Structure 1
Amino acid sequence: MNTLTDWVREKGYQPQDLPLYYEACTHSSYANEHNNGVPDNERLEFIGDSVLQIWSADTLYHMKPVMHEGKMTTIRAQTVCEQTLARLNQQLGWYNFLRLGVGEERSGGRTRPSILADQFEACIGAIYLDLGYGAAKAVLDEYMKPLISASKPEDVTDYKTQLQEYVQTDNRKTIQYRLLEETGPSNAPTFRMGVFLDDICMGIGESSTKKRAEQKAAKEAIRKLAC
């Protein structure tokens, strides 16, 4: 297989809008290096994220035994998090179809979780737009649904939701996440995020993505609040 359309055909579907699948696999670094109107996958990522949200909500709602809203929210956040989407991308082999800029390729972009997760969402968005929700749902049912009941490793634990639930009994308290520092080159930055409870910094986390840094900050805050 050389393209995403080859993968889709192997699943028994007949893709119609072929440029859509190339767009899903085009990173902004590639588009920026080719000044010929090549679109990147960010718009399709937006669509794919929405498909994942409705699919996960519908799947969790119909699971037995019935779960309360808080548990469904936590499991959904764990299931559609960056690390999980990146792993699924690698499992499916979609990362092989990525079109990256020269610099991004050299710096390891093809294995960077944030890029893989974004591409996964974009590919789901392309499948949805070209073949409909049924085809996108079939892919997610086959590859993502088994993860919902699987045990979650630490790196996909949703500490942000846990922290929110920990303090939500006191409506006077507010939680904010703030960027404290950004270091490193633009193609491989490191973000230092802080979580503030009523303007008091309760935790700090660092990672290559803001989302992961926020999770680390929330984990530290939970540890302090539990003491």
Structure 2
Amino acid sequence: MNQLQSLFSNNNLLVQALTHKSWVNEHKGQRESNERLEFLGDAVLELIVSAEIYRRFPDKPEGYLTALRASLVNTQHLAGVAAKLDVGERLFLSKGEEATGGRRNKSLLADTVEAIIGALYLDQGLEACKKLIREYLITDIAEKVKTPLKDAKSMLQELVQNRRLKAPIYKVIKSIGPDHAKTFTVEVEIDGKAVASAAGTNKAEASQKAAKMALLQLTKK
């Protein structure tokens, strides 16, 4: 019995969590894909990680906690968890997806980890998910805290990529004041919609502030 199987009582849920939509399309819907489980697992993962870092860092402000959470649930980090659990070798993929390197696709692997968490929640409940996440996902939280967190624009870029949205676009929508002391207002647009805006003494500062506001908006959804 492998690591993943040992976590589950209902093996059918694990099989579904490992089933990519390409396999379902190729096998004419013989089995449900892992997309719904991924949706559930994403919510469970965010709840557990949010609660864990809230508890561990009582003196940190919201912006710091948001940045730390993003660094723990991003594609790169979740793909690393997939490697620890040997997820890639156990995926059910179509021949086409297999041929294009699906078993090493970080985005696909990260999505599958979320699906596994969703399946585990249905099978064993929240406590089992907490145990899995603490053991495999936030074991290096101390190192994460020591490492400078990414700037807001980089984190926002990563977040929208994870959610398969169009890249953020930053626009200066207002500039006031004399040339030597201007204030710029920058708006960040995602998928054609204005998400947030902020002002700063230069365009770079305003863009970073707008990205931070956008992060707060998107992670509340």
CA RMSD of aligned residues (A): 3.5
Q: What is the aligned partner in structure 2 of residue 144 from structure 1?
A: 137
CA–CA separation in structure 2 for the residues paired with 1:16 and 1:162: 37
CA–CA separation in structure 2 for the residues paired with 1:61 and 1:74: 12
Indicate which of 39, 45, 56 corresponds to 1:63.
56
2:34 is aligned with 1:41: yes
Structure 1 unmatched runs, 5+: 165-176, 180-189, 204-209, 211-222
CA pair 45-162 structure 1, distance change in 2 beyond 3 A: closer
Q: What is the aligned partner in structure 2 of residue 26 from structure 1?
A: 19
Q: What is the aligned partner in structure 2 of residue 93 from structure 1?
A: 86
Q: What is the aligned partner in structure 2 of residue 195 from structure 1?
A: 169
Deviations 1:43-99 (A, max 9, x none): 000111011111011101111452111110110011101111011111221221101
More divergent stretch after superposition (15-24 vs 52-61): 15-24
1:69 partner amino acid = E
CA–CA separation in structure 2 for the residues paired with 1:108 and 1:50: 28
Secondary structure of the structure 2 residue equivalent to 1:196? strand
CA–CA separation in structure 2 for the residues paired with 1:24 and 1:199: 45
Indicate which of 85, 105, 117 corresponds to 2:110.
117
Q: What is the aligned partner in structure 2 of residue 225 from structure 1?
A: 204
The structural deviation recorded for 1:146 is 2.0
The structural deviation recorded for 1:135 is 0.7
CA pair 47-162 structure 1, distance change in 2 beyond 3 A: closer
The structural deviation recorded for 1:33 is 0.2
Secondary structure of the structure 1 residue equivalent to 2:83? helix
Secondary structure of the structure 2 residue equivalent to 1:40? coil
CA–CA separation in structure 1 for the residues paired with 2:82 and 2:9: 22
2:9 partner amino acid = Q
CA pair 99-162 structure 1, distance change in 2 beyond 3 A: closer
Q: What is the aligned partner in structure 1 of residue 177 from structure 2?
A: none
CA pair 107-68 structure 1, distance change in 2 beyond 3 A: same
Decide whether the 8 Å contact of 1:194 with 1:202 is kept in 2: no
More divergent stretch after superposition (61-70 vs 20-29): 61-70
CA–CA separation in structure 1 for the residues paired with 2:5 and 2:95: 29
TM-score, reference length from structure 2: 0.68
CA–CA separation in structure 1 for the residues paired with 2:58 and 2:165: 39
2:83 partner amino acid = Q
Q: What is the aligned partner in structure 2 of residue 182 from structure 1?
A: none
Secondary structure of the structure 2 residue equivalent to 1:193? coil
1:85 partner amino acid = L
CA pair 136-109 structure 1, distance change in 2 beyond 3 A: same
- How many residue pairs match? The answer is 178
Decide whether the 8 Å contact of 1:21 with 1:123 is kept in 2: yes
The structural deviation recorded for 1:191 is 9.1
CA–CA separation in structure 1 for the residues paired with 2:187 and 2:97: 34
Q: What is the aligned partner in structure 1 of residue 124 from structure 2?
A: 131
The structural deviation recorded for 1:145 is 1.7
Indicate which of 94, 97, 104 corresponds to 1:104.
97
Decide whether the 8 Å contact of 1:79 with 1:147 is kept in 2: no
Q: What is the aligned partner in structure 2 of residue 216 from structure 1?
A: none
Secondary structure of the structure 1 residue equivalent to 2:39? helix
Aligned sequence identity (%) = 35
Decide whether the 8 Å contact of 1:29 with 1:104 is kept in 2: yes
CA–CA separation in structure 2 for the residues paired with 1:24 and 1:86: 15
Structure 2 unmatched runs, 5+: 175-185, 192-201, 207-221
CA–CA separation in structure 2 for the residues paired with 1:40 and 1:104: 14
